[in-house]
Structure 1
Amino acid sequence: MTLPVALTGHDVIGQAKTGTGKTLGFGLPLIDRVVVGADVEAGRATAADLCDAPQALVVVPTRELCTQVTNDLQTAGKVRNVRVLAVYGGRAYEPQVEALKKGVDVVVGTPGRLLDLAGQRKLDLSKVRSLVLDEADEMLDLGFLPDVEKIITMLPAGRQTMLFSATMPGQVISLARRYMRQPTHIRATAPDDEGATVASVTQHIFRAHSLDKVEMLARILQADGRGLAMIFCRTKRTAADVADQLTRRGFAAGAVHGDLGQGAREQALRAFRNGKVDVLVCTDVAARGIDVEGVTHVVNYQCPEDEKTYLHRIGRTGRAGASGTAVTLVDWDDIPRWQLINKALDLSFNDPQETYSTSPHLYEQLHIAEGITGVLPRAERTRAGLGAEEIEDLGETGGRGRERSRGGDRPRGGRPGRRGGDSRSGDSTATETGSTGTEEERPRRARQRRRTRAGSAPDATGTATVEVEQSADAAPAAPAVEGDAAPRRRRRSRGSGSAAKATGTTAEAPAAEAAAEPAAVEGGTAPRRRRRTRRPAGEAAPAEG
């Protein structure tokens, strides 16, 4: 339904359920309208029509969707040798800039990185003939509307604009009225599929306790005929925790969420597509447009925020005519939220049945064999796991890709850790010169000069303060007293007016001060340490002389 209208250059608003092929619905017209060298050879275009600047732009909300759309367009445009480039954050700028310099026909990117490159004049948008906003409603939900409007203002006025999404709220329609010219709204539905959800997806809604969800999930993942499975969580912390618990229970699980670096996110998705991992725990960053063949089960570990999120989550299974199973675990606190979703989608699960990991109806409805426990048997642990997929070095920004040492120290070039010796200590000199002597034989660490304050007048509390100064080349510390006692440590003295002058000059040399200190008591005990004393309030410091 879309191709005849889009191939003529008209603006299109495409709306269809998940898994119905929207990517090729706008991808094929883009590839057909791009002018390449084969068109010049065939006489359909002139050499003046060729350019290295992008001729088509596709804006997507997430990085994962960006890579998937890029791969689909590269596959479809391979015969015509169409150059397609993915531009998104989390990767180094240099490879993307080099690819733009060599020449690109179609650019697929996220709004943030597109604006960065356009602002640096690395990306020329003046030759764009076709613009596509994929998952337009999601970009509005994520707050991308100002960025999208900035991108649209950089494009030529005489372009073709196409919007595609499974859900079209009123904001998307208002956006279309501002930036599109007499668009054709195409809504594709199957004759026997009247509901909002895909008919080939079997839905199960259970009221579950939060402390029993992991045990239920482990048994659901052992259902008969279960292939690849996607687990959706509401928060990043929950997704990481569920992935770790499933790994400890023997499942080959990976995680995709915003706290991971781009290399780790793409590693998990590649392992999931290649079959090395059969359970992908993710947040809603993977709920839009991700198309993986063989996904049979989708589990909403936490109740989605709204009906649009629910539709996109369960749309990861039952794609392209296949069948799938969607399970939603609703906590007691989320019952009101689920009832709103149920009413908006006109479903029949207003009061979910209370279910636990040992409930018989859970085993019956999901076809779980009797005797299954929450731990995957060792005989069934046949997947290679996430570690079998290598992490690609993407030159990530923000320092997420830096490797840390085994002891947890900082990366090379940063501030040295304690294990390697602190640059502030004087022991590094002895280490560099190869000194192996005892502590007394090593050179004494120099002390920094300190500002002295003579007690010319007491402060508000009636206390005069005297600080003792010691330079870097001062005399060594006084020798230890008789016996095994340790040498005394010098401290600041408060209120001892005999050691300071009223003019604020520095105190006597450390050697004279050491001679004035009381001698150690007999018997080899440590000398009494000087303590701070407080001068009575109102008593002035002694005058000079």
Structure 2
Amino acid sequence: MIEFASLGLSESTLKAIAETGYTTATPIQEAAIPVALAGRDVLGIAQTGTGKTAAFTLPMIDRLAAGRSKARMPRALVIAPTRELADQVSSSFERYAKYHKLSWALLIGGVSFGDQEAKLDRGVDVLIATPGRLLDHFERGKLLLTGVQMLVVDEADRMLDMGFIPDIERIFKMTPPKRQVLFFSATMPPEITRLTKQFLNDPTRIEASRPATTAETITQYITELPVSDSKAKRAALRALAERADVKNGIVFCNRKTEVDIVAKSLKSHGFDASPIHGDLDQATRTRTLESFRKGELKLLVASDVAARGLDIPAVSHVFNYDVPHHADDYVHRIGRTGRAGRTGETYMIVTPADSKSLDKVLKLIGQTPKMAPLDLDWASLVDERGRSGGRGASSRDGRRGESRAPTRGRRPARSDGDAPVQPVEDVVAAEVSEPSAPPPAPAPAPAGAQQEDRPRARSRGRTRARAEAAPPVPVEAAPVATPAATESRSDPEAMPRRASRQTERPIRGVKVRDEGDDHRNGVRGFGGDTPAFLLRPTPTRDD
């Protein structure tokens, strides 16, 4: 490895780096920093945890050291897929730019627009944002991107998974064509390749390591279950967490609803665990992550919103409660441990329903993890209601990384967002249960309301009542309407009056047949059983 002092960085920046405790650069930093300092576009391909954030933050600081920012016109823009990753970039910029007079702003959702607009009005050198909130400010007229000199796109393949590519294309078109682009991605699917060919100008391709590889400092285990049942999976997770020497760990689930259920189950059995996923408000997510970073929280139960980019270097264990649907996600999940030369352990719970997803993971990583069997009474752990853990494993997260559709049997989130969504169908009841009160019986409807709420009836009794309430009218009492009268909708006398639900009234311009007393209560051929719709007077044409 090479030292930072030989990469061409300024003395002020090197001083800030030294105070963070780093002395040597990672391969992606060693290759990217000199190219970025020279003003060329960079296409960096490296897996998570290789130091990509410093690879673009450090040269950006030195290139922006000379110059002043203008109100609502940032000089550099960093786009990140998640709030957590954007906040991490902001913290990194704050550490490394402490000896430079540079300003920056963080634009993410879940935070007041007013505070962000105030910073934009004062002018910032660097804008760190998620795509949605950035475009919100632009559409409000609070932001201009015509002064952007450097544009950074971080975790581009994650942007693709979350459906942000159209937003990224729009942001590219809002910036000047001569800006410098630093583009980083762990993988290069065809859509990302198309994007780089369209918007990057002769970039220097830097591939620090083979995409989708796992670090050698991580020991991987597989725990196979003979049943595909949620209750059995939760019992296996608890057994693994008790058996392993867990300093702190992250439990990954495929679905947000499963995150809440697993966190609740762990808490009910005495584990220090909290959930984090996209449905929680930003204040709760930030507070939970900060507690985990400080060591105040032992287990973080997460969806894939936390799988990439989060710099939590001291994670000792990662538990895959669900086998990820996409093999690349497995690499990013277990990459939360074994960072910066540390060792880590990962466990993946596998059920018979996970065979296809497991095959994809094993094929990608090119190795077979060690087996970690559990001696549990699986027959007694099967959920009595027959819910299968494999059922949920077949549903893919939505375009923005997590499914937004409401799940059957789930209450809506509280308006304050301080508590995770709790399922109405308490799947943890078999583990820690409380009897639930039966639902209250519906109150009897008032006598008057019963008739109003009932659909229009065609019964014999209602038909006869209507017929008796509407005696026939002689033909002479119903003159035929003229065309002028029927066409003039503004004339109330020319408009047909609606028949009352209780009585049938004569309508102007309508002939009503008078067949005598034998047909007073009906139409010929029906007697008293005439359907209600035939009792409506029908307009007839004069012959």
Q: TM-score, normalised by structure 1?
A: 0.63
Aligned 8 A contact 1:287 1:316 in 2: yes
The CA deviation string for residues 227-261 of structure 1, in whole angstroms up to 9 with x for no partner, is 11000000111110000011111111110112222
For residue 249 of structure 2, what is the aligned residue in structure 1?
Answer: 229
Give SS of 1:2's match. Answer: helix
SS at match of 2:359: helix
Deviation at 1:399, TM superposition (A): 8.1
Corresponding residue of 2:58: 28
1:147 to 159, 162, 167: 167
Q: Sequence identity of aligned pairs in percent?
A: 37
What residue is the counterpart of 1:9 in the other structure? 39
Task: Please name the residue that 1:206 is paired with.
Answer: 223
Rounded to whole Å, the distance in 1 between the matches of 2:293 and 2:244 is 21
- Which residue in the other structure is 1:356 paired with? 374
Q: What CA distance in whole angstroms lies between the structure 2 residues aligned with 1:124 and 1:322?
A: 43
Instruction: Give secondary structure in 2 for the equivalent of 1:222.
Output: helix
Q: Which runs of 5 or more residues in structure 1 are unaligned? A: 40-44, 360-397, 405-446, 451-457, 468-499, 505-534
Cα-to-partner distance string for 1:294-319 (whole Å, 9 max, x where unaligned): 20000100001112111110000111
Offset, 1:141: 1.5
Distance 2:123 2:130 in 1: 19
Which residue in 1 is equivalent to 2:271?
Answer: 251
Q: Number of residue pairs matched?
A: 374
Contact 2:75 2:147 in 1 (8 A): yes
The letter of the residue matching 1:99 is: K
Displacement of 1:51 in angstroms is 2.5
Distance (whole Å) between structure 2 residues aligned to residue 123 and residue 195 of structure 1? 37
CA distance in 2, matches of 1:401, 1:103: 32
Task: Measure, in 1, the Cα distance between the counterparts of 2:359 and 2:180.
Answer: 41
Q: Distance in 2 between matches of 1:93 and 1:465?
A: 65
Separation in 2, partners of 1:466, 1:83? 85
SS at match of 1:318: coil
Residue number among 109, 116, 133 corresponding to 1:96 in the alignment:
116
Paired with 2:529 and 2:262, the residues of 1 have a C-alpha distance of 65
Q: 2:70 corresponds to which residue?
A: 51
Deviation at 1:166, TM superposition (A): 2.4
**What residue identity is the alignment partner of 1:62?**
T
Structure 2 unaligned blocks of 5 or more:
1-30, 378-412, 420-448, 453-459, 470-501, 507-526, 536-543
Cα distance in 2 for residues equivalent to 1:347 and 1:501: 82
Q: Measured at CA, do residues 63 and 50 of structure 1 come closer, stay the same or move farther in structure 2, by a change above 3 Å?
A: closer
Label 1:460 to 1:323 Cα distance change in 2 as closer, same or farther (>3 A).
Answer: same
- Which runs of at least 4 in structure 1 moved beyond 3 Å after TM superposition? 352-359, 500-504, 535-538
SS at match of 1:295: coil
Distance in 1, matches of 2:87 and 2:62, equals 21
Partner of 2:306: 286
CA RMSD, Structure 1 to Structure 2 (Å): 3.1
User: Following superposition of structure 1 onto structure 2, how do residues 197-346 of structure 1 map, counting pairs within 5 Å?
Assistant: 197-208=214-225, 209=227, 210=229, 211-223=231-243, 225-346=245-366
C-alpha distance 400-123 of structure 1, shift in aligned 2 (>3 A): farther
> Residue 361 of structure 2 aligns to which amino acid in structure 1?
I
In 2, the alpha carbon distance for the partners of 1:465 and 1:266 equals 71
Contact map agreement 1:11 1:161 (CA 8 A) in 2: yes
Matched, 1:462 2:464: yes
TM-score by length of 2: 0.64
Question: Highest Rg: 1 or 2?
Answer: 1
Which is further off, 326-335 or 80-89? 80-89
User: 1:344: Cα distance to partner?
Assistant: 2.4
Asked if the contact 2:181–2:200 (Cα under 8 Å) also holds between the matched residues in 1, the reply is: yes
In structure 2, how many angstroms separate the alpha carbons of the residues matched to 1:199 and 1:98?
46
**Does structure 1 conserve the Cα–Cα contact (< 8 Å) formed by 2:212 and 2:364?**
no
Match of 2:213 in 1: 196
Q: Structure 1: how far apart are the matches of 2:117 and 2:69?
A: 20
Alpha-carbon distance between aligned partners in 2 of 1:326 and 1:160, rounded to the nearest angstrom:
39
